[in-house]
């Protein structure tokens, strides 16, 4: 897709097909001979890992759907039956439930990679935005999937999140009833969540197609943040995707799958919550409602807003902050004013980035505990205050640090080319 095609159909059948539907050419140009920067490190392997996990979720999910019953009286039992009675159901259910977690681990690493190496900057803004769209769709899919087993956390998680919608002015109540299809989370809600949970992964697959299309126009970024040179120097900066990166990606995928297998086989329930093995009860709320781990930082941001901001009351403010935390990623390419992509050459911003990662993890911690507990037992230092400070930093990183640093920071000297960075002197 970038540069002229180098595909040469070798057999008669391939020639025949190439004149009618050049699909082999597309695959060849995209995944075999695609010129890829020669200096990609392992942070670049998570895209391939994500593609594998999307397939794992779709295949295991279609199998689960053959046995799952989307009814408030049978859903819980049907999932138990899958894990106990259906042949290999224990395996497939465990792959699906843990696969969601591994999917999110990979997407977070993939996104932090983008933040560190400036992958969102021109000319890759659309590529980045499509990535944020995929992430949002994954959040929605994971949320609705977690409702399906109809345990206590399923039910009350759905209750809390749909009630957040009720915070919207004027339309909130009507919108909430519309989502529920009734007067509470119930049968209609479960049934439609199942329908959408089945649908959205295929929408994700379609957006992934666009994401890769947008990737293959400018080509991959890379750790030094320089573009590959055009013309005859291009060969010096790049390697063909196959075999160099098929092997590197393949190796990373195998290692990641090995860790995944440890969870699937030996720790199938550690990432779940004990309360979700109690069937949903609309009359009893669990003592602590916590979402799945991958939502915890946003849950902390939601709970950090405990005060009214002008005409916006605390509840709506929390909802806006939570969605704003993701929404701000859409405009990130225009907030970062620095022309230097890679943090390797941004001595100050690099530290702000490292603290941003710490803040994100810290928010996850705040989301998991009671906001009124004390951090490390220090009397008076509530998790609420930590959460508020980290929420402030989360937004400040995008709204203050990145715009200002691009103007005041003096970047380090960068190598002349990717070739020089990899093959040249040790200095680069």
Partner 1 sequence: MTEENGAPGADGQEPSRRDFIYIAAGGAAAVGGGLVAWPFIDQMNPAADTLALGSIRVDVSVVAVGSEVTVMWRGGPVFIRHRTEEEIAEAQSVELDALPDEEARNDNLPTGTPGTDANRVLRPEFLIVKGNCTHLGCVPLGLGANTGDYDGWYCPCHGSHYDTSARIRRGPAPENLPVPDYFFETETTVKIGLSPEEASNSGWAVS
Q: CB of residue 335 vs partner 1: minimum separation in angstroms?
A: 31
Q: CB of residue 283 vs partner 1: minimum separation in angstroms?
A: 5
- Please identify, using beta-carbon distances, which residue of 182 and 347 lies nearer to partner 1: 182
CA distance linking residue 37 with residue 90, whole number of Å? 42
Does 307 participate in binding partner 1 (rule CB under 8 A)?
no
- The binder of partner 1 chosen from 51, 160, 207, 375 (CB under 8 A): 160
Cis link prior to 51 (omega < 30° from 0)?
no
The size of the interface with partner 1 (CB under 8 A), counted in residues, is 30
- What residues line the site for ligand HEM (CB under 6 A)? 57-58, 61-62, 64-65, 68, 79, 93, 96-97, 100, 103, 138, 141-142, 145-146, 148-149, 197-198, 201, 204, 272
Closest by CA to 133, choosing from 330, 360, 395, 399, is: 330
CA distance linking residue 245 with residue 251, whole number of Å? 9
Does 150 participate in binding partner 1 (rule CB under 8 A)?
no
Q: CB of residue 195 vs partner 1: minimum separation in angstroms?
A: 11
CA distance linking residue 39 with residue 394, whole number of Å? 31
**β partners of residue 151:** 279
* CA distances from residue 116 to 47, 70, 257, 316, 346 in whole angstroms, order as listed: 15, 42, 25, 32, 10
Q: CB of residue 66 vs ligand HEM: minimum separation in angstroms?
A: 8
Does 311 participate in binding partner 1 (rule CB under 8 A)?
no
Q: Which of partner 1, ligand HEM, none interacts with 58 (beta carbon under 5 to 8 A by kind)?
A: ligand HEM
CA distance linking residue 421 with residue 428, whole number of Å? 5
CA distance linking residue 293 with residue 273, whole number of Å? 10
HSE of 142, CA atoms in CB hemisphere, 13 A: 23
- Please identify, using beta-carbon distances, which residue of 200 and 312 lies nearer to ligand HEM: 200
Binding mask 205-244 for partner 1 (x = CB under 8 A): ----------------------------------------
In degrees and rounded to multiples of 5, residue 309 shows phi and psi of: -115, 100
Does 5 participate in binding partner 1 (rule CB under 8 A)?
no
Token pair belonging to 168: 């919207």
- Please identify, using beta-carbon distances, which residue of 155 and 345 lies nearer to partner 1: 155
Q: Which of ligand HEM, partner 1, none interacts with 100 (beta carbon under 5 to 8 A by kind)?
A: ligand HEM
Closest by CA to 131, choosing from 168, 100, 106, is: 106
- Residues 6 or more apart from 90 whose CB is under 8 A from it? 82, 83, 84, 268
Give one word for 382, left, alpha or beta, with left for phi > 0 and alpha for psi -120 to 50: beta
Does 159 participate in binding partner 1 (rule CB under 8 A)?
yes
Token pair belonging to 326: 């993701």
Number of H helices, E strands in the chain: 17, 2
In degrees and rounded to multiples of 5, residue 106 shows phi and psi of: -65, -40
Does 183 participate in binding partner 1 (rule CB under 8 A)?
yes
Does 8 participate in binding partner 1 (rule CB under 8 A)?
no
Distance of alpha carbon 30 from the chain centroid: 23
Does 303 participate in binding partner 1 (rule CB under 8 A)?
yes
- Please identify, using beta-carbon distances, which residue of 290 and 316 lies nearer to ligand HEM: 290
- The binder of partner 1 chosen from 205, 314, 326, 369 (CB under 8 A): 314
Helix, strand, coil fractions of the chain, as percent rounded to 5? 65, 5, 30
Q: Which of partner 1, ligand HEM, none interacts with 182 (beta carbon under 5 to 8 A by kind)?
A: partner 1
- Please identify, using beta-carbon distances, which residue of 73 and 85 lies nearer to partner 1: 73
Q: Which of partner 1, ligand HEM, none interacts with 282 (beta carbon under 5 to 8 A by kind)?
A: partner 1
DSSP-derived 3-state class of residue 40? coil
Q: Which of ligand HEM, partner 1, none interacts with 283 (beta carbon under 5 to 8 A by kind)?
A: partner 1
- Please identify, using beta-carbon distances, which residue of 295 and 394 lies nearer to ligand HEM: 295
Does 372 participate in binding partner 1 (rule CB under 8 A)?
yes
| Subset of 243-282 contacting partner 1 (CB under 8 A) | 282
CA distance linking residue 357 with residue 116, whole number of Å? 10
Q: Which of partner 1, ligand HEM, none interacts with 89 (beta carbon under 5 to 8 A by kind)?
A: none
**β partners of residue 312:** 309
Residues engaged in binding partner 1 (CB under 8 A): 156, 159-160, 162-164, 177-186, 188, 192, 282-285, 287, 289, 303, 306, 313-315, 372
């Amino acid at each position: 897709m970038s540069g002229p095609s180098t595909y040469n159909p070798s057999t008669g059948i391939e020639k025949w097909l190439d004149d009618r539907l050049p699909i082999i050419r597309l695959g060849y140009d995209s995944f075999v001979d695609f010129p890829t920067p020669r200096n990609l490190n392992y942070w670049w392997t998570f895209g391939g890992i994500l593609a594998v996990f999307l397939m794992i979720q779709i295949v295991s999910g279609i199998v689960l759907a053959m046995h799952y019953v989307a009814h408030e009286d049978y859903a819980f039992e049907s999932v138990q039956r899958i894990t106990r009675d259906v042949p290999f159901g224990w395996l497939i259910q465990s792959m699906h439930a843990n696969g969601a977690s591994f999917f999110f681990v990979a997407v977070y690493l993939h996104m932090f990679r983008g933040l560190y190496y400036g992958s969102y900057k021109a000319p890759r803004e659309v590529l980045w935005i499509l990535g944020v769209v995929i992430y949002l769709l994954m959040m929605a899919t994971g949320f609705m999937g977690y409702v399906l087993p109809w345990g206590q956390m399923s039910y009350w998680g759905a209750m809390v999140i749909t009630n957040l919608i009720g915070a919207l002015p004027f339309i909130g109540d009507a919108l909430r009833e519309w989502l529920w299809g009734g007067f509470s989370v119930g049968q209609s809600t479960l049934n439609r969540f199942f329908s959408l949970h089945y649908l959205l992964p295929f929408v994700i697959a379609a957006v992934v197609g666009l994401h890769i299309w947008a990737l293959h126009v400018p080509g991959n970024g890379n750790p030094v943040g320089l573009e590959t040179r055009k013309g005859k120097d291009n060969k010096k900066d790049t390697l063909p995707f196959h075999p160099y990166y098929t092997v590197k990606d393949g190796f990373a995928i195998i290692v990641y799958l090995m860790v995944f297998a440890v969870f699937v086989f030996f720790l199938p329930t550690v990432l779940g919550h004990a309360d979700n093995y109690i069937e949903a009860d609309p009359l009893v709320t669990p003592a602590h409602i916590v979402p799945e781990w991958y939502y915890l930082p946003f849950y902390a941001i939601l709970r950090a807003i405990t005060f009214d901001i002008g005409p916006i009351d605390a509840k709506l403010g929390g909802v806006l902050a939570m969605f704003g935390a993701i929404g701000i990623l859409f405009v990130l390419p225009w907030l970062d004013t620095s022309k230097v992509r890679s943090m390797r050459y941004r001595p100050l911003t690099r530290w702000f980035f490292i603290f941003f990662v710490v803040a994100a993890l810290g928010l996850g911690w705040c989301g998991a505990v009671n906001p009124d507990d004390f951090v490390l037992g220090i009397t008076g230092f509530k998790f609420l205050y930590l959460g508020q400070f980290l929420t402030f930093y989360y937004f400040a990183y995008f709204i203050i640090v990145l715009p200002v640093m691009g103007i005041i920071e003096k970047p380090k000297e960068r190598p002349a080319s990717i070739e020089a960075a990899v093959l040249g002197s040790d200095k680069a």
